[in-house]
Structure 1
Amino acid sequence: MPRVKVGTSETRLVVLRGNSASGKSSVAAGIRERFGRGLALVGQDNLRRIVLRERDRPGGANIGLIDTVARHSELREWYRRLDLLPGGVETVVCAQSGLDDTVDRIMRETGLAVLPAREH
């Protein structure tokens, strides 16, 4: 199968930004499920755990941090209302948008909905 060159009408770069626990990973998984093969996900958690091979282990610093955050709801303090990039180059998805509606919107607005999925 011929390679698709980056930056052509057949490629898209979709960046999902947002606060912790805002649903970025769920939206990315939904887009991938809807689109099919030929869509790569580059997630921060995946890079840390898989690419960098930072493993969970008893007593590891990452386990303590996750435990602290989960037990004290500190994610709320990390939230920044309308934390937008300068220049108006992003689209804001409102908090009331459900997962399916959000995936539908991204698929439509990026053109992924009309691109053919890769066979291999």
Structure 2
Amino acid sequence: MTTSNPTRPTSPTLVILRGNSASGKTTAAREVRRRFGRGAALLEQDYLRRTLLREHDSAHIQPVAPAFITAAARTALDLGYHVILEGILHTERYGTALHHLIDNHPGPVAVFYLDVSFDETVNRHLNRNEPIPVTPDEMRTWYTHRDLLGIPNETLISETSALEQTVTTILHTSGLTTVDPQTPCPRRCRHCARESAQPHAAEATVP
């Protein structure tokens, strides 16, 4: 879904990228942010839930993570960052919070779902550089077929889509290829100004 509020034409863009484990969403989200550059916040569900909160993703508890993650996204948007939010983000636990985030964002919103079959997720897990020690039976308990948010224009990306194609689809469909950073750093920072004057300078040199 891509929407806009004419009274706030400079509202930042919200991109949500969902899919099952090993669907490729984290790799794609990181590459989208890398290509956009400064001014886009990358929020990874696994890091926020597992590392910051140390919360289990379970249907048997009243989780804090959905409210925490969407509040982080809302804060970044309010501060002028474009936001790329990625994760499994099961509708059972995250659907209400995500719908509220989307419905209350005045700027552009683009939602993507990486539609990868169970057999392919198993294959990708087994072929990771650092395989996760889980069995296919354990993985099946995580897997949900087409766990869509049910939002108009939610974009499905097939398992046959290579990384380059997936990243290009996300960048163009979301409109991130045509928007500028709105955060203070890219607009006013002397380091960013120097980067603009020297476009081939490595980002790693900027403190």
- TM-score, normalised to structure 2's length? 0.42
**C-alpha separation between the residues in 2 aligned to 1:79 and 1:34?**
30
Report the CA distance between 1:115 and its aligned residue: 1.5
Structure 1 residue aligned with 2:45: 44
**C-alpha separation between the residues in 1 aligned to 2:47 and 2:170?**
22
Superposition pairs of residues 88-107 of structure 1, within 5 angstroms: 88-107=152-171
Report the CA distance between 1:10 and its aligned residue: 4.7
Superposition pairs of residues 37-116 of structure 1, within 5 angstroms: 37-52=38-53, 54=54, 70-73=133-136, 74-116=138-180
Q: Is there any run of 5+ residues in structure 1 with no aligned partner, and where?
A: 1-6, 55-68
Report the CA distance between 1:72 and its aligned residue: 1.2
Q: Which has the higher strand share?
A: 2
Structure 2 residue aligned with 1:33: 34
Report the CA distance between 1:108 and its aligned residue: 0.4
1:10–1:115 Cα contact (<8 Å) kept? no
Structure 2 residue aligned with 1:19: 20
Which runs of structure 1 show a deviation greater than 6 angstroms over 4 or more consecutive aligned residues?
A: none
- Aligned Cα RMSD in Å? 2.2
**C-alpha separation between the residues in 1 aligned to 2:10 and 2:159?**
31
1:28–1:41 Cα contact (<8 Å) kept? yes
Report the CA distance between 1:23 and its aligned residue: 1.1
Aligned AA for 2:178? V
Higher relative contact order (CA 8 A, sep 6+): 1
Q: How many residues align?
A: 99
Change (3 A) 1:99 1:83: same
Report the CA distance between 1:38 and its aligned residue: 0.6
